[in-house]
Amino acid sequence: MVLCQGGEGDAAPAAGGQEPEVPADREDGPSAVQPCPAPGVEAAGAEERRACGCCSGMSWPFCCEAPGAKKKAACPGLGLFYTILSAFLFSVASLFLKKIEDVHSVEVSAFRCVFQMAFVLPGLIYYKTGFLGPKGKRIFLFFRGFLGSTAMVLLYYAYQVMPLADATVITFTSPVFTSLLAWIFLKEKYSLWDVLFTLFAVTGVILIARPPFLFGSRVTGIEGGYSDHLKGTIAAIASTLSAASTIVILRKVGKSVHYFLSIWYYAVIGLIGCVIALFVLNEWRLPHCGRDRVFLILIGLLGLGGQIFLTKALQIEKAGPVSIMKTMDVVFAFILQVLFLNHIPTWWTVGGALCVVASSSGTAIRKWRHSVKKAKQREI
């Protein structure tokens, strides 16, 4: 049997600016290997056409490698390495966000959207996708862009007013909320295991938020006052819900819209919304310090790099292992918080992180096993 590479796939960036924005249950990327039939006998003097993933309509031997040709071996673990690198870049971008002074989270989000647009525009021109998308899908793309950019702004606000590790951990409840919203709006299956993982996630968030009516009035291990900590927690949860909603919308749209269009709506709507919000809040200002200006540029570049590597990871690796390896975001957040922010996390935060990571990992593993089982049934 001759193997050839799969056709062009799509991926979408993550919710909340750090969310990745590729649906977490996706199992096969653009580099999925598909069987291409061996050359057969020409019928009626006409050359037989092949329809493998990479070259539909092209005749053998141009559609794939000739029989006996040595196939280049894939680098094992490369997709997981890309995931770790993506997590590191996102975490460093979050650290720079914590270091910036006197710049509102909305303005930081606006700069991030500008970098997104600069990256996506050449792709839209190259693939000739247009700037609006199919008529029947534009409303979904609009809400995808609105909710995705809202998730980014709220997450950046959470990073600024609460410990870095706490905000990062809360964002990892996204897979759990995605399953819940998919059950409500897409009628997907929601089992008792999903209920258990949801309870684990909620428990983790409670341990991080530590509401006074459960933990008393003396709450330790937070930045500033408890009111800011509570606002950051609410913003992080709202960001996670918005990110989960974008994934549900992307599942609804499916592969009928190129992923560059999805990112384009995310960046354009986000930029417009951020500019309006900045004028309303009267918060637009250039950083006084040259260091903060450098940090703004680095946040845009690192966020873009993290998204690229996450997309590459999902192209060559299954979504299950990538989702599990992405928990390195939490590890990096804890390390950077201790090393550069001199903030030691409390045992409550560690316990909450373990609950949330166990919940998100369990959700990812279940979906991965379910997809593998369905793939085997299709083969039979």
DSSP summary character for residue 2: E
Whether the pLDDT of residue 22 is over 50: the answer is: no
Span 187-199, average pLDDT: 85
Judge residue 104's burial from the number of C-beta atoms within 10 Å of its C-beta, 0-12 exposed, 13-18 middle, 19 or more buried.
buried
Percent with pLDDT over 70 in the chain: 77
Q: Which tens digits make up the pLDDT trace of 286-310?
A: 777 778 888 888 988 898 888 888 8
Strand residues in the chain grouped as ranges (E): 2-5, 33-36
- Cα separation, 7 vs 30, in Å, equals 6
Task: State residue 34's pLDDT score.
Answer: 43
Two tokens at 129?
């996708």
Whether the pLDDT of residue 18 is over 50: the answer is: no
Q: Which tens digits make up the pLDDT trace of 58-98?
A: 444 444 444 444 444 467 678 889 889 999 999 999 999 88
Two tokens at 12?
């979408």
- Cα separation, 70 vs 65, in Å, equals 8
Q: Which residue has the higher pLDDT, 64 or 331?
A: 331
Which pLDDT band, with edges at 50, 70 and 90, does 216 fall under?
low
Whether the pLDDT of residue 193 is over 60: the answer is: yes
Q: Which tens digits make up the pLDDT trace of 169-184?
A: 998 888 888 888 888 8
Q: Where are the alpha helices (DSSP H) in 30-173?
A: 78-99, 105-127, 138-161, 164-171
Task: State residue 8's pLDDT score.
Answer: 36
Query: Mean of the per-residue pLDDT values for the chain?
Result: 76
Specify whether the CB–CB gap between 38 and 172 falls below 8 A: no
Nearest to 149 by CA among 193, 98, 112: 112
Task: State residue 259's pLDDT score.
Answer: 74
Nearest to 25 by CA among 156, 147, 181, 220: 181
- Cα separation, 222 vs 261, in Å, equals 40
Whether the pLDDT of residue 338 is over 60: the answer is: yes
Count the Cβ atoms, other than its own, within 10 Å of residue 126. Answer: 9
Strand residues in 240-369 grouped as ranges (E): none
**Non-local CB neighbours of 362 within 8 Å, separated by 6+ positions:** 193, 196, 197, 200
Task: State residue 190's pLDDT score.
Answer: 81
Task: State residue 50's pLDDT score.
Answer: 41
Span 31-50, average pLDDT: 41
Span 218-247, average pLDDT: 83
Task: State residue 20's pLDDT score.
Answer: 43
- Cα separation, 131 vs 121, in Å, equals 9
